[in-house]
């Protein structure tokens, strides 16, 4: 595995792959890798000849008072995990490589970025869209892979790629979960043992709501019940529990549309998100 921190060296490495006619996949991450990230990597190996994994904790997607300074950083362990999995390139730029002195450009995706996490975390998706645009231009992949757990992020990136004519295939990979159902996340490392045990209420509440909606119960009542169950289970607050159109993120879509439940809630100072489809058989 090549570990690269210099942009010119990255482009040289990718140019070698291109010259050989190989298909290149990109897996963008912020590090602290877990089985969820590795599921993205394994799918990338399946759909491409070469895989570039990026690790960059992007300061532009963290708001005031968020966890940028304490976000877990495990570069050595991450690099070993990727090397053992036969990753081709690990791209680990420093902040001044990604945003050099004088950097002044921001990428914003209207509409799909403005509700849910966009409303709860102002500016977050501008930071995501900006760094992903940079990564796409740096690596110039044929395909890029993102987890369904960050479903609004995935929707924003799909809109970005369509609007800016990137010509990159975007693949959403099903959410990976622990045995008890909690979605894997680097932020799970923040949870105390007690809060970790309580956190499983999040996927359980979404599952109960999805089944109720699928059988024809009133969606608003099902969502309100899910929020109440989270608070009673020990969550400190709930940013949202919503049912959205799986393509547009419009809330409360008709039953003839593909629908997903999305939620964000805080426990022990840690903000967790999750999503599941309403209809059985959809990717989780």
Known catalytic residues are 37
- Residue 259, sorted as left (phi over 0), alpha (psi -120 to 50) or beta, turns out to be beta
Identify whether the C-beta of residue 165 lies closer than 8 Å to the C-beta of residue 138. Answer: no
């Amino acid at each position: 595995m090549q570990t690269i921190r210099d942009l010119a060296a990255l482009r040289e490495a990718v140019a070698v792959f291109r010259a050989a006619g190989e298909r290149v996949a990109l897996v963008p991450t912020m590090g602290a890798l877990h089985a969820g990230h590795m599921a993205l990597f394994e799918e990338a190996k399946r759909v491409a000849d070469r895989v570039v994994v990026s690790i960059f904790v992007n300061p532009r997607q963290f708001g005031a008072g968020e966890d940028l300074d304490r976000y877990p950083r495990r570069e050595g362990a991450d690099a070993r995990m990727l090397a053992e999995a036969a990753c081709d390139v690990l791209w680990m730029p420093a902040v001044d490589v990604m945003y050099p002195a004088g950097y002044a450009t921001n990428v914003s995706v209207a509409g799909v970025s403005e509700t849910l996490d966009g409303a709860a975390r102002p500016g977050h998706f501008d930071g995501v869209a900006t760094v992903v645009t940079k990564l796409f231009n740096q690596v110039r992949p044929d395909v890029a892979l993102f987890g369904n757990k960050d479903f609004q992020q995935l929707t924003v990136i799909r809109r970005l790629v369509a609007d800016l004519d990137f010509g990159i295939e975007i693949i959403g990979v099903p959410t990976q979960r622990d045995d008890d159902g909690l979605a894997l996340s680097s932020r799970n490392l923040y949870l105390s043992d007690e809060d970790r045990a309580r956190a499983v209420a999040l996927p359980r509440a979404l599952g109960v709501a999805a089944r109720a909606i699928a059988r024809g119960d009133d969606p608003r009542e099902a969502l309100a019940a899910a929020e109440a169950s989270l608070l009673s289970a020990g969550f400190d607050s709930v940013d949202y529990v919503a049912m959205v159109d799986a393509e547009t993120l419009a809330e409360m879509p008709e039953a003839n549309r593909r629908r997903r439940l999305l939620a964000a809630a805080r426990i022990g100072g840690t903000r967790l998100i999750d999503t599941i489809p309403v209809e059985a058989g959809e990717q989780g």
